[in-house]
Structure 1
Amino acid sequence: MTHGRPLLNRRLTEFGTTIFAEMSALAVRTGSINLGQGFPDTDGPEEIREAAVRALRAGHGNQYPPGPGVPELRSAVTEHQRRHYGLEYDPDTEVLVTTGATEAVAASLLALLEPGDEVIALEPYYDSYAACIAMAGGTRVPVTLRPDDGAYRLDLDELRAAVTPRTRLILLNTPHNPTGTVLTRDELAAVAALACERDLLVVTDEVYEHLVFEGEHIPLASFPGMRERTVTVSSAGKTFSLTGWKIGWITASPELVTAVRSAKQFLTYVSGGPFQYAVADALRLPDSYFDALREDLRAKRDLLSAGLTEAGFEVYEPAGTYFVTTDIRPLGETDGFAFCRALPERCGVVAVPNAVFYDHREQGAPFVRFAFCKRTDVLTEAVSRLKGLRAA
């Protein structure tokens, strides 16, 4: 305490050590298989890693890169958006490279919110969303995705009812972490219509855009009236299995990019210079790369989902991402925190309790998330270990 005040800013008092740090430390301590934190256990394409080495040796990006990002990457981002979605962006005024998607979201919220502004976020939400809204002085308003017929669904009436005169922004995530939901064209059209009707901004986190197993990924910015009010966020980490490089980006109108850059320049300023050149090459990989990645993860999803079902969980098979959410109540459990903290000792596997992704903790209490972005032999061993739960 100093002068009678806590050291930590009161906006952050509800946020302690992240659950990912806690559960990853538990995995190390117990020698368990870590299916909690969402990082692959194999590196991305060798040709892209070699591109980073070449950039380092050639002196490309070893000093401060340009604030908006190296031109090669900004051009590659615009080519990617055109190639996959038919969206046209100007690489000089409508792209901003960030230190991963996490900084992109943080800079967007810091730039676009005033204290007291309300932000609607789909609950359960990635944990940094809540912290970023708090740091910006905003008020988060969760709209809960609920399980229905084997999948999580967005209640559009609930979303509409959440909008008030204080609502500034909708923070959207599709494909959605942690539930694996991929919003449909009709759902996205309804979100777009609501944003236009109520004059709302939208920040849309699309980092799992290439990891869709059922349905299709449709950028919200492609809907009528949305290009000028949407900040689209993506990154290289999930698509290329290079999470440690922390190269992300936004695409948006010049006015929105300028606003977000005003905040971003005082966070990291710039980062990952040589990696930016390599990611430019990665975005230009042929369609066969993206297809193979998706099919590999689809097979791993099916392997883990079947194993979890056999172990006694109720499984909500994801349409996208690399996470599967389960219900532990068929195992006679109701407390996801207690279950996850005991699971390493019970069977040598680590998972994450979904309740950490909720404002309404009781809504997420019986749900647990597992990651399947691991080697097939690791998942096979995890499934074998989890079989012991039913016997117990």
Structure 2
Amino acid sequence: MEAVRGFGIDKVAHSADRITGRWPVLRLENLDTDLPLPPEAVPVTAAALTTPPANSWLPFTGDEDLRAAIADVLADRAGHRYDPGDEVVVTSGGTEAALDCLLATIDPGDEVVLTDPTYAGLVNRVRLVGGVPRFVPYLVVDGEWRLDRDALAAAVGPKTRALLLMSPSMPSGAVLDHDDWRAVCDLCRDRDLILIYDSAMESLLFDGRELIHPVREPGMAERTLVIGSLSKEFRMIGWRVGWVAGPRSLVEHVGWAHVYNTTTPVGIARAAATAVLRGDHKHIATSAAELQRRRDTILSGLSGLPLVRPGGGWSLLLDTVALGVDPADASRALLREGAVAATPMTGWGDAVAARHVRFVFSAEPVDRLATLPERLAAAGLAPRNG
């Protein structure tokens, strides 16, 4: 098995905790958020803490009410009604869900196609199950990320078992359009592949983009595992609630992988998770609008730098190699000279990721993000011709 690599986030965070100087540190290295929780999250959790279900092992794959709430959300988004009884499994967060999906579908030596860049946690989970990551690069077209569809087709070979994709993707904020999804789904149908779709950020879209769900494509409900989570769209990071939905022929195996991985979802989170999923979701659009405002503050303040405009999500990438600076060196200079904690993207894909550092804008308000131009200038990161 190829070595599982670290994120880099922990090292940057450890160093950032010790920085003192001209500015307070801008924490752009991790996916915490200062955006408000859904209104039901705290009061329902507190009220349910002393109830028997909050301190129970059972049911192993999640309360039926919670699974039904997940099925209702997916019926609206995906246009497909999943049976809560045997087509939905509740997990301890979306990352556990990803591992369960891979454990249920990938044998050692099987290849899994991911984008470059992508979330390092997905890459490493492919390696944990003995799978082999194969990367499809994102291209930069008109300042935004675009999937290289020719490279996607070329990446699928006789050992390919699954495609593991996000949209919006982390860390890039890349969003797949209708033509991208059609190319993905055509490959899955033609080559008899499984699609593992991490939908954790699918409603965090900018610039009026529409939510496009691959399960709406013909024949995809039978071959797609949909991963969801309360951690991004709903900002409930500490509740650790995720899920997998898909055809019972696959979800049955995902459920057993979950049971022998963590035994049961987090009990104290179950009541609030159900209430939030059944509640008013207008707060998601409010959060997406604030995230877009933060993105625009960064792009406006750092115009002239090789930043790629994200179409959604919580973060964006700076190509430091285009500035003649190695990303690890840039990360150190940003922290030392500019008090900016930003993670180099080594291990978050392949050659494309390795050119970049990531700026997460989910936990820093606009007024603090507006100090980035001065901070980057102090770190020596300016356009090469200016």
TM-score under structure 1 normalisation?
0.90
Cα 1:272–1:381 change in 2 (3 A) is farther
Alignment deviations for residues 86-118 of structure 1 (CA, whole Å, 9 cap, x no partner): 321111111111111111111111111111111
Query: How far is the alpha carbon of 1:37 from its aligned partner?
Result: 0.8
Is structure 2 residue 68 aligned with structure 1 residue 75?
yes
Aligned-residue CA RMSD in angstroms? 1.9
Distance 1:21 1:391 in 2: 23
Is structure 2 residue 294 aligned with structure 1 residue 295?
no
Q: How does 1:227-238 map to 2 (within 5 A)?
A: 227-238=221-232
Query: How far is the alpha carbon of 1:43 from its aligned partner?
Result: 4.7
Cα 1:382–1:46 change in 2 (3 A) is farther
Is structure 2 residue 129 aligned with structure 1 residue 139?
no
Alignment deviations for residues 163-219 of structure 1 (CA, whole Å, 9 cap, x no partner): 111111111111111111110011101110110001001101110012011322222
Contact 1:313–1:329 under 8 Å retained in 2: no
Equivalence for 1:318:
310
Of the three residues 9, 33, 55, the one matched with 1:20 is: 9
Distance 1:123 1:365 in 2: 9
Task: Give the AA of the match of 1:193.
Answer: D
Distance 2:326 2:364 in 1: 29
Task: Give the AA of the match of 2:119.
Answer: Y
Of the three residues 45, 66, 76, the one matched with 2:59 is: 66
Task: Give the AA of the match of 1:156.
Answer: R
Distance 1:97 1:349 in 2: 37
Distance 2:43 2:213 in 1: 31
Cα 1:66–1:88 change in 2 (3 A) is same
Contact 2:166–2:199 under 8 Å retained in 1: yes
Is structure 2 residue 51 aligned with structure 1 residue 54?
no
Query: How far is the alpha carbon of 1:274 from its aligned partner?
Result: 2.1
Equivalence for 2:202:
209
Q: How does 1:1-392 map to 2 (within 5 A)?
A: 11=1, 13-15=3-5, 17-31=6-20, 32-214=25-207, 215-309=209-303, 313-329=305-321, 332-360=323-351, 363-376=352-365, 377-382=367-372, 384-389=374-379
Cα 1:65–1:301 change in 2 (3 A) is farther
Distance 2:248 2:142 in 1: 42
Task: Give the AA of the match of 2:45.
Answer: A
Query: How far is the alpha carbon of 1:303 from its aligned partner?
Result: 1.4
Task: Give the AA of the match of 1:94.
Answer: E
Which stretch has the larger CA shift, 231-240 or 349-358?
349-358
Query: How far is the alpha carbon of 1:281 from its aligned partner?
Result: 1.2
Cα 1:81–1:364 change in 2 (3 A) is closer
Distance 1:13 1:155 in 2: 27
Distance 1:22 1:300 in 2: 25
Task: Give the AA of the match of 1:343.
Answer: L
Query: How far is the alpha carbon of 1:269 from its aligned partner?
Result: 1.1
Contact 2:230–2:237 under 8 Å retained in 1: yes
Distance 2:166 2:237 in 1: 18
Q: Which runs of 5+ in 1 are unaligned?
A: 1-10
Q: Which runs of 5+ in 2 are unaligned?
A: none
- What SS is found at the alignment partner of 2:302? helix
Query: How far is the alpha carbon of 1:294 from its aligned partner?
Result: 1.4
Task: Give the AA of the match of 1:50.
Answer: P
Q: Which has the larger helix fraction?
A: 1
Contact 1:182–1:216 under 8 Å retained in 2: no
TM-score under structure 2 normalisation?
0.92
Distance 2:381 2:163 in 1: 45
Alignment deviations for residues 352-382 of structure 1 (CA, whole Å, 9 cap, x no partner): 112331233xx33432210111242443345
- What SS is found at the alignment partner of 1:105? helix
Task: Give the AA of the match of 2:243.
Answer: W
- What SS is found at the alignment partner of 2:262? coil
Contact 2:342–2:358 under 8 Å retained in 1: yes
Contact 1:145–1:154 under 8 Å retained in 2: yes
Which stretch has the larger CA shift, 60-69 or 165-174?
60-69
Cα 1:46–1:381 change in 2 (3 A) is farther
- What SS is found at the alignment partner of 1:280? helix
